[in-house]
Chain A
Amino acid sequence: MRLALPLMLTIALLVPSIAPAQDTTSAQVKRGEYLVTVGGCHDCHTPWIIGSGGPEPDMKRALSGHPQDITITAPATVSPPWGGAMTPSSTGWSGPWGVSFSANLTPDPETGVLRDFTEQQFIQTMRTGRHQGQGRQILPPMPWPNYGQMTDDDLKAVFAYLRQIPPVKNKVPDPIPPKR
């Protein structure tokens, strides 16, 4: 009972800040959804299918990356002046760097690429073009130099949005090195 007053005071201090915090989170997620949409993330990270109106992203697999059942074993062979190729799903890209596959950005605990990322690492990844901000290089065509110009708040919003979209279990294959 002696702690009742301090407890009530603490709760009184916390309660007004919890409700706005929820609003802030919700607004942040909405902002993230907007940025992901206009930023073109679905162009590569959501598999494309042929819909009734032509090619379109398959939103049932939104942002789940290159489908694990589309097997690719070697870079595309193209003739000049062509320098690269992409899969019809728009998730596999072949070029001088070898073959890159778009990552699974959903929060799937087993296959989502961001499962071990902190918010800070996500921001640094966009700033440096390196996995978790300091590791291996992110391969083309990921336009991280563009996204690296976003503000911290915008990148935090994108991260917040990606952490709460529906998880999709899809193990994206490892990249394929270029032909020597």
Chain B
Amino acid sequence: MAKVTAITEQLRSNQGRHSAAVGAMLILTFGLLKSVSAVPQPATANPPATLKDTGLYTDFGTLLVDPAHLTFAPQYPLWSDGATKRRWISLPPGKVIDGSDPEVWIFPVGTRFWKEFSFNGQRVETRYLERRADGSWLYAAYAWSPDGREAHLVPVRGKRGAYPLAGGRSHTIPGMTDCKACHQGGASEILGFSTLQLSSEPDPGSLHAELRPDPGVDLKYLVDRGLLVGLPKTLLETPPRVAAATATERAALGYMHGNCGHCHNDQGSLRNIGLFLRQGVKDAGQPAIDSTVNHPVKKPAPGQSPDAVLRVEPEHPERSGIMQRVGSRYPALQMPPLGTELVDDEAVALLYRWISETAPLRKEAHIEQKGR
């Protein structure tokens, strides 16, 4: 668009009118002929057969994690049936992350991520991502043996019954297509290691937030050690935060960023739904409010109550489409559609509170803003 705008300006000037006109038409013509949307492709490389072979531990017998890896925690974690998580990143020696685009960090080839899932103190699975030489990410999940001594690669279709949960349900280790359904749903495949998630001023009201483990990896830590380069200075001087009228709203929007925004954003394949729950760090405004509050449900899901005509109906959480979907685990209705077997009751309570309070608080916020 910038190119078209610039050419339009040039067309208005007296000089270079002909060449500009020809150039504009040619660019538009070729642009039209070449506009093809990208389709994510399946990875072809084979991951290691065991977790041990991925290099997470220096001593697998004692499960001593390589001290060169950095442990971290995002401020708005993904909820996975209440699993306790630990996460690590490994950068190749001498390589750094390019943060020039704070919305899409570029990780060097050879970057590795691990995320360990435990229930009641028992390790159940560890997920693994590795940046390949061709720029793609390798996906793998490893299931721990019941005695916690081994962790083997899970088949590409995943593994059901990995750990018993409440109500006769059980944790499912997702298959590769499900992993990619979330991780390839936006501009960046890395979801929990980003500008907002590692803000140096995390949200004190974030739901399910974990204490940042030592050494306290955040934006400042990464920049100070030269591991993250190119990040705009303003994001260090004014750490990014979710724009919200109240603390409750900040936590609610942050929760939806971490649990919904990887699919519901303005960059990925589902952008035509018009539900933008990912929080950007560059944009003004609040698309998550604009695309939910008083916004009609586009197409009711199977099992959705007919009185839920709005995604968020202020002061009426019981009639809000978002509440019905987050509060259900009927497969055709539930949100998120994968990755959980149980309803996140604390999230339901948070979103209920936010919607209940939304109308009066937002009016006050608007009045306050106008008065300035």
Give A contacts to B, CB under 8 Å. 2-3, 5-7, 9-10, 13-14, 17, 116, 118-121, 123-124, 127-137, 152, 174-175, 177
Residues on the A chain within 8 Å of B33, using CB:
17
Which residue in chain A gives the minimum CB-CB distance to B38?
A120
Give the residue of B18, B177, B333 whose beta carbon is less than 8 angstroms from that of A128.
Answer: B177
Residues on the B chain within 8 Å of A177, using CB:
330-331
- Determine the distance from Cα of A118 to Cα of B180 in the docked complex, in whole angstroms: 18
11 inter-chain pairs at a CB distance below 8 angstroms, sorted by A residue, are A2-B17, A5-B18, A6-B21, A116-B272, A120-B37, A121-B270, A124-B39, A128-B181, A130-B177, A134-B185, A136-B334
Which residue in chain A gives the minimum CB-CB distance to B157?
A145
B42 on the A face (CB < 8 A): yes
Q: Looking at the assembled complex, report how far the CB atom of B181 sits from the nearest CB atom of chain A, in whole angstroms.
A: 5
Residues on the B chain within 8 Å of A3, using CB:
21
List residues 261-308 of chain B with CB under 8 A from any CB of chain A. Answer: 263, 269-270, 272-273, 298-299, 301-303
- Determine the distance from Cα of A152 to Cα of B18 in the docked complex, in whole angstroms: 41
Give the residue of B17, B269, B301 whose beta carbon is less than 8 angstroms from that of A120.
Answer: B269
Using A5-B18, A116-B273 as known contacts, list a sample of 6 further A-B pairs with CB atoms less than 8 Å apart, ordered by residue number in A.
A2-B17, A6-B18, A6-B22, A123-B39, A129-B177, A136-B334
B178 on the A face (CB < 8 A): yes
- Determine the distance from Cα of A90 to Cα of B180 in the docked complex, in whole angstroms: 33
- Determine the distance from Cα of A122 to Cα of B185 in the docked complex, in whole angstroms: 14
- Determine the distance from Cα of A13 to Cα of B18 in the docked complex, in whole angstroms: 17
Which residue in chain B gives the minimum CB-CB distance to A14?
B29
A137 touches B29 (CB 8 A): no
List residues 31-74 of chain B with CB under 8 A from any CB of chain A. Answer: 33, 37-40, 42
- Determine the distance from Cα of A137 to Cα of B331 in the docked complex, in whole angstroms: 7
B96 on the A face (CB < 8 A): no
Residues on the B chain within 8 Å of A175, using CB:
302, 332
Give B contacts to A, CB under 8 Å. 17-18, 21-22, 25-26, 29, 33, 37-40, 42, 177-178, 180-182, 185, 263, 269-270, 272-273, 298-299, 301-303, 330-334, 337-338
A9 touches B269 (CB 8 A): no
Residues on the A chain within 8 Å of B273, using CB:
116, 132
Residues on the B chain within 8 Å of A7, using CB:
25
Give the residue of B21, B263, B301 whose beta carbon is less than 8 angstroms from that of A134.
Answer: B263
- Determine the distance from Cα of A9 to Cα of B269 in the docked complex, in whole angstroms: 36
Report which residue of A6, A121, A134, A137 has the largest number of chain B beta carbons within 10 angstroms of its beta carbon: A134
Give the residue of A9, A120, A121, A127 whose beta carbon is less than 8 angstroms from that of B42.
Answer: A127
- Determine the distance from Cα of A13 to Cα of B29 in the docked complex, in whole angstroms: 8
Q: Looking at the assembled complex, report how far the CB atom of B299 sits from the nearest CB atom of chain A, in whole angstroms.
A: 6
B337 touches A135 (CB 8 A): yes
